Amino acid sequence: MGYELDFSVVWEHLPELLWGCLGTLGLALSGMTLAMIIGVLGVFARGSNMAWLRRLVIAFIEVIRNTPFLVQIFFLYFALPSMGLKLNPTVTAIIALGLNGGAYAIEIIRGGVQSIHKGQVEAGLALGLHKTQVFRLIVLKPAIRAIYPSLTGQFIMLTLTSSICTSVAAYELTSVAQRIESDTFRSFEVYFTVTLMYLAISWMLMTAFAAISRQYFSYPTR
């Protein structure tokens, strides 16, 4: 009658699960990188002189933020090939994560850029810094410092969201877990272990983000 928990299945498949963890980390880090690129470009486009470009960015942000990631990734999974882009599922997943994270990143980064006082930029230019230097040192770095907590929080969310990429069979922890589960029928044992692995991944990322913050952003501001 009673069900006997049997974690030996998990132990046997541990190497595969650990590779899955690396898959998730790789997927998440690639997604974060793409999200940051989209975020920075999006902030420029959002502040452009061209009204159609501004409206396009706003529409992109609203559509992404008000629809589920699952629907977004399904849409891309079918839409990209019809545009002639035949990509493997993992690349599709990275694009989906990047677009999703990018929409949130645009709004977060924009908030940070707006927190920079205009006088600071003028002071930088008056000191003879080049426009790109002003952007990099006077706008970007303090802006990133201001938004660091919400940006890294968003990155953790992105990492957890990456588990949904199993639905297009991308290579990551959840899809590895689903394969092991369907081979062994030890559903609870597998998913319970994998949940703890995700917890460890987010804890590791949080620790790493905090260390980076101490390294780069612990300068005095006044």
* Contact status, residue 117 vs residue 196, Cβ threshold 8 Å: no
Q: Which of residues 156-175 bind another protein (CB under 8 A)?
A: 156, 160-164, 166-167, 174
Least distance (Å) between residue 185 CB and another protein: 10
Q: Which of 7, 11, 44, 203 binds another protein (CB under 8 A)?
A: 203
C-alpha dihedral sign at 133, 135, 137, 140 = negative
Q: Which of residues 53-92 bind another protein (CB under 8 A)?
A: 62-63, 65-72, 74-75, 77-79, 82
**Cα separation, 180 vs 160, whole angstroms:** 20
C-alpha dihedral sign at 42, 43, 48, 54 = positive
Q: CB nearer to another protein: give 55 or 65.
A: 65
Q: Which of 94, 103, 146, 194 binds another protein (CB under 8 A)?
A: 194
- Which of 21, 163, 43 lies closest to 97, judged by CA? 163
199 binds another protein, rule: CB under 8 A: yes
For 15, counting Cβ atoms within 10 Å of its Cβ (0-12 exposed, 13-18 middle, 19+ buried), the class is exposed
Q: CB nearer to another protein: give 202 or 213.
A: 202
Binding site for another protein (CB under 8 A): 3, 5, 62-63, 65-72, 74-75, 77-79, 82, 156, 160-164, 166-167, 174, 187-188, 191-192, 194-195, 198-199, 202-203
